[in-house]
Amino acid sequence: MILCNARLIYESFAKRCYSTSKISINEVTKQKFRETMGRICNQAMILTTAVPIHCSHDKFRGVTLSSVTSLSLKPVPLVQFNLQLPSFTSDFLHDFNHFALHLMKPNAQSIELARNFSKGAMRHADNDEIIPTQPFIGLSEGLEYDTYEIEGTNLRIPLLKNAERVIVCQGLKHFNVGDHEIWVGKVEDIVNRSLEDGIEGDDPVSGGLLYCNRDFYSVGNPIKRNKE
């Protein structure tokens, strides 16, 4: 009986040690993963969602993303991105199923917009109510953004002026993974802001606004290849 009890005590101790070790390893892996991903340069793009025509501008929703990628070209152009949940922007995506992705110019105004659209929801100090951010408050319609009406609907999407291109999409599929939601969008239109700015001749590729290690960058010079 004494040997049996001793064995049970040992097995219980071993399980606790293994569990603690496993948690520690997982935490270390998360830290290493976060540090590794911080070394990767991603495109900082701003997503804005469709709203009803009559919706006031203080209700417009949007968020800064670093997860936008091209998914496919055939049979139709598709893009994908992810959002962390919960999200008021996600609610509007589910409700209205249209959105715009902005390829931002690599300049100071884009950085200011990206930081503004990356602010999370706030909690009301008095009643603990969660209040969505209002990224369009302080932006001037006509000067800093205009709206794009979606044909055949009563919806419109706010489009930022300080973008090189705006990809207008309809939501195609979405699904949850962990605490994130992955969206696939079908590209329905491309708005060329460079043409609107009156740029003639060549329209140089800037590379857009880049985000790496908690700061913003622009594309540098091409890397010279070794002579063959």
Give tens-digit pLDDT for 185-212: 999 999 998 887 666 556 889 999 999 9
What would the two tokens of residue 68 be?
């936008």
The pLDDT, as a whole number, for residue 126 is 62
The pLDDT, as a whole number, for residue 30 is 87
Using an 8 Å Cβ cutoff, are 81 and 65 in contact?
yes
Please say if the pLDDT value at position 1 is more than 50: no
Which residue from 81, 44, 68, 40 is spatially nearest to 162, judged by alpha carbons? Answer: 44
Query: Could you please report the per-residue DSSP string of 121-144?
Result: PEE-TTT--EE---TTTTPPBTTT
Please say if the pLDDT value at position 182 is more than 80: yes
φ, ψ of residue 69 in degrees (nearest 5): -140, 155
Domains, the chain: 42-217 (2.30.110.10)
The pLDDT, as a whole number, for residue 155 is 98
**Mean pLDDT over the full length of the chain:** 87
Task: Calculate what percentage of the chain has a pLDDT beyond 90.
Answer: 65
Bin 114: left if φ > 0, else alpha if -120 < ψ < 50, else beta. Answer: alpha
Please say if the pLDDT value at position 61 is more than 90: yes
Rounded average pLDDT over 68-80: 97
Which residue from 178, 145, 173, 185 is spatially nearest to 62, judged by alpha carbons? Answer: 145
Residue 92 Cα to chain centre, angstroms: 14
Which residue from 148, 172, 150 is spatially nearest to 160, judged by alpha carbons? Answer: 148
The letter for the amino acid at 61 is: R
What would the two tokens of residue 13 be?
């101790």
The pLDDT, as a whole number, for residue 123 is 60
Using an 8 Å Cβ cutoff, are 209 and 110 in contact?
yes
The pLDDT, as a whole number, for residue 127 is 59
The pLDDT, as a whole number, for residue 83 is 94
φ, ψ of residue 150 in degrees (nearest 5): -90, 120
Under the banding of pLDDT at 50, 70 and 90, the label for residue 13 is very low
- pTM score of the predicted model: 0.83
The pLDDT, as a whole number, for residue 119 is 87
Residue range 136-158, pLDDT digits in tens: 999 999 999 999 999 999 999 99
